[in-house]
Chains A and B, each alone.
Chain A
Amino acid sequence: MKIPRWLRATIPPTIVVILLLLSWESWVRLQNVKPYVLPAPSRVWAAFWRVRPQLGHHLGITLAETSLGIVLGAAVGFVVAVAIASSSWLRRAIEPLLLASQTIPLIVLAPLLVLWFGFGLTPKVLVVVIIVFFPVSVATSAAMLATDADQIDLVRSLGATRFQVLRHVKLPSALPAFFAGLRISATYAVAGAVYGEVIGGDGLGRFIEGSRRNSKVDQVLVGVILIALLSAALLGLVQIFSRIATPWTYLRNDNESLN
């Protein structure tokens, strides 16, 4: 009997998750671990059920911050990548600054952003933008610089302008890298937004911080799981866009997997 592809993909992680939950639950019960240290999964589930009505509000805010941040961060990363790839002078000028932007610890930067931009969405979106744009711009610009020289020569010989070379050769060849960068970014983006929320404001970060200060570790873990699920959902979304925008890469992968 042939097992469907999607089942082959989902069965192993499901088994691992179930095993992990079972051992966690039995460890807590056997060792009598206090719920304010580590609540059992069953207790976390009960907490989820209890706080369910509150979660939509927090999720909505965190989702808004994260998606705005990802879109803006991807746009900024893309523009930076084009700038880097189109002029070696710009590359030398921008690259050190790019690196410097990533050396500032978020724990230092986020409180300052809240101080400068207040308590609204802005500072959290900015945290996400800072997290997102870097992998995108690095991956994309590297791919654009690595575009097959023969292809460029060919299009040039047909009379293409600089812009046409960018539009028809460099960009398409860099798109897979762009999405690879975005996938890395999307993984961290939610955590970045939540971090900003802990510093000041609303959303899942506030829910987690408030729960912690009420010694409700089970609610904290509900928040943690939601962050993971939200990240996974965003990652899936990026994957879908990637499939639509660069169908050829998936085609090749499918062929390879058949061999």
Chain B
Amino acid sequence: MDGEDRPLFERTLRKATAQQTGAALDAALDQLGWGDALSTDPRSAVSLLFALQGAANATSSALGQVFAHSLGVGSGTGLVLPPIGCWDPPGTVEDDHLVVHGLGPSSLARLDSLVVVATMGEGTVGISVPAPSLVLRPVEGIDPDLSLLEVTGRCVLTDEAPGPIAGHWSTALALGRLAVAHELVGASRAMLDLACEHARNRIQFKRPIGSFQAIRHRLAETLVGIDMADAILDAAWLDRSPGTAAMAKAVAGRQARTAARHCQQVLAGIGFTTEHPLHHSIRRTLVLDALLGNAPSLTRALGTEVISSSRLPALPPL
């Protein structure tokens, strides 16, 4: 995407995510050709949509589409994602059974069949499963607005042997982690905007509270974290390695928790009420951090790998 296309695309996405959510946002994304953009310019499609979706606290089926696109399975919809906190494929083939434990957007409930990526022996396969043979539980959880479904089931495989998938799970996972990291950054920026506005307008001791260093330094620290996540995302798009994508997801998750803590403290009483929108972003970042591996588990995995190999990952070159 070059020249004037990108700002135009961004404006269209901004409008769609600000006005629509859920099924309506899916329809809007279809109409504006987001799926085509995902094929031709994945970086623009993923980074722009997910940052805006995070900022607007909107939901869509786009994360499943990112996985499906990378794996080359299904028509783009109906893909089951790993369960919360996990990152292995959501299915396992045991003898002639498929065991499924995963998550998905509410749009899965409207489909006749779902696509489950499953581990089978040493390989990874994609299996189309009729919806009635799976249990879809609407998730309330800490962020009910996310309208997730928990997908579980144990079903007998039909005679047809499951087909191998075109792409690699690790590549799809990396792209999915970049998407969620951008969404975390978008939600963090939204929290920071709310807190800064409050810090400028709220007067205490005859001064805006933003003139007190205790407040300023918390908010400055929040911006440092956000920009840090953006920088590592930039590096991850350049090298496209699963390792850098995992680092970006971990940094984005950790800084979002920091942003939530600082912004909630600055917004104080009003930020703790449901009259104020802050709680939506706090709830969203908690779930997004946990999705596809939270910051502590990804960070520990990185440290463990470096200790066993004795090799630090190379720094981004010029």
A binds B: no
Task: Report which A residues bind B (CB closer than 8 A).
Answer: none
